[in-house]
Amino acid sequence: MSNFWIDLPKPIFSAAPMEDVTDTVFREILLRHSDIDSLNVVCTEFVATDGICHEVGVENVSHRFVVSETERELLKKRNTKIIAQIWGAKPENFYKSIKFITENYEFDGIDINMGCPVKKIVRQSGGACLIREPELAKAIIAASKSATSLPISVKTRTGDITPEIETWIKAIASEKPAAITLHGRTRSMMYKGEADWEQIKIACELAKSISPETIFIGNGDVKSLSGAMERIEKSGVDGAMLGRAMMSNPWIFSIKANCISVEMRLEILLEHARLFDKVWGTKKPFAVLKKFFKSYINSFNGASELRHQLMSCSSLEDLENLIAHYSLI
């Protein structure tokens, strides 16, 4: 299996994995509204290796690996790669999980989450907690690489409480992952303050000196492709990952991103809800969509009132009727 990261055109643009956000439906929305060659890599929501290795648990998490037929068609049409992201703290469970994934699903790569700062993940010694244990992190990367011929990448942060580029990035790069995506904040910062792209630059230079073939992606506070380009040029990274900005601007990988109308926002909300209903039916509650009501419906007069009304919707029919009524006013 070839390392697709090396073959991607540069600069590389990727969509961040986001829990309860980047399922197959939202990824398809992004793909539908991206320009050709502007979205190179998409990720699943992250999945716990302990859950995958548990006979009952795997049934509860397997929906996160679903790739619909229509998403798969778009991925092939646009030559966009899709990677499964997993997290945990036991090397043996990474090995078992990756074996399970590669035997049951079709992904282009596997990404290891070593950057999630959420307390429930850190309490289980996963995500950004691994920054405190570089030797364990190295063992996890090694076990993961031994389980598959797919490229193994790592997403992480600059440090635990303060930046630890010299020790942390050096440890990861020494295992020669196919790619490293670095969020320019420490674990303790969560999502507060500004992402430090100077630290990303330093980390990129260090990683490349240790493992020149490793692709390096910067992440944090990237709100547009033009903003991404500026950060890429200044930091010397191979590309940028866009995260939270995608929720309020699913056109972010398109030239349309700078001219979004109220009508476009209403249309994409309906498009998303209808696709959600088609893909998931009763498998997922309609309420899952409400986070998108908040993000899509903003930046125009009357948005706050409409969002309030949307939150009372409990079905696709309710949503369609409300937007139809709003459009007639």
Tokens of 141: 């990367």
Cis status, amide bond into 11, omega within 30 of 0: yes
Catalytic residue among 43, 53, 116, 313: 116
State the Cα–Cα distance between residues 60 and 63, nearest whole angstrom: 7
Do 112 and 144 contact (CB within 8 A), yes or no? yes
Give the pair of three-digit tokens for residue 246: 């995608």
Q: Please indicate whether residue 53 is annotated as part of the active site.
A: no
Collect all residues with Cβ–Cβ distance below 8 Å to 25 and sequence separation of at least 6.
68, 272, 275, 276, 279, 280
How far apart are alpha carbons 62 and 291 in whole angstroms? 22
Count of beta carbons in the 10 Å neighbourhood of residue 241: 23
Decide if 170 contacts 138 (C-beta within 8 A): no
Which residues are catalytically annotated? 116
